[in-house]
Structure formats: structure tokens, C-alpha cells
Amino acid sequence: AAGVIQSPRHLIKEKRETATLKCYPIPRHDTVYWYQQGPGQDPQFLISFYEKMQSDKGSIPDRFSAQQFSDYHSELNMSSLELGDSALYFCASSLYVRTSGRRAYNEQFFGPGTRLTVL
């Protein structure tokens, strides 16, 4: 079965440079989430998109921006990189299932992550 694809898998940048991370969700999934996992830390939610609109926002720095495109892939743009941005960045996707009168469950499937190293 197709999984979430993230590219690149590894990225090395210098301080103050920019970086773009890409996420290709599972086919037919309409929701994308971005998480950041610093060294020895738990994954922290950054931002999510549903049908190309931002659906939720977490602890995403102002230097970062993201969007979801018409084909549902998403890009996380990071500018003025700092040493503290070095982390594993996960993308997850889900299909928003509407149910009437019952709780809907939309399982998030995680990609393998992009390891960003800022030197």
C-alpha cells in the first residue's frame, strides 16, 4: 500500500539559509499535518491543512510557512534557519471522514521524516 512520502530524507543547511520540505500524502487523503521532533524530544505539532486550507496551528515559528497544493501535497518552508531548527520533521496524512451523530476517526499515517541539520 502507498505510504506518505517525504523529500528529501536528509537535508543539511547553513545558518540563515532557507529550506523546503515536501510531503506527498497517501492517495485520496485530504489532510496533512506537520510535526517537529528535536533531538531526544517528543514530536511537536506544527501545523495542519485540510482541503488546502489551514486547519490548525501549533508551535510553528513565524520564520516557517506551509501550504497545501491542489494535488494535496504540502510544503514546509523554513527561512533564516537557526541551529535549533535541527530536527526530524514528520508529515502525516489522513482522510477526513464525516459521520453524522457519531465521532469520526481519521487515522494519521506518518511519513518516514526529513532529518534537517543546520550547521
Partner 1 sequence: AQSVTQLDSQVPVFEEAPVELRCNYSSSVSVYLFWYVQYPNQGLQLLLKYLSGSTLVKGINGFEAEFNKSQTSFHLRKPSVHISDTAEYFCAVSGSGGYQKVTFGIGTKLQVIP
Q: How many residues bind partner 1 (CB under 8 A)?
A: 27
Nearer to partner 1, 8 or 80 (CB): 8
- Binding track, positions 45-64, relative to partner 1; x by CB under 8 A: x--x-x----xx-x------
Does position 67 interact with partner 1 (CB under 8 A)? The reply is no
Q: Name which position in 33, 64, 72, 118 contacts partner 1 (CB under 8 A).
A: 33
Query: b/e map of 78-94 (b: 16 or more CB within 10 Å)?
Result: beebeeebbbbbbbbbb
Residues 1-30 that bind partner 1 (CB under 8 A): none
CB of 75 to partner 1, least distance (A): 18
Instruction: Note the residues at the interface with partner 1 (CB under 8 A).
Output: 31, 33, 35, 41-45, 48, 50, 55-56, 58, 90, 92, 94, 96, 103-108, 110-113
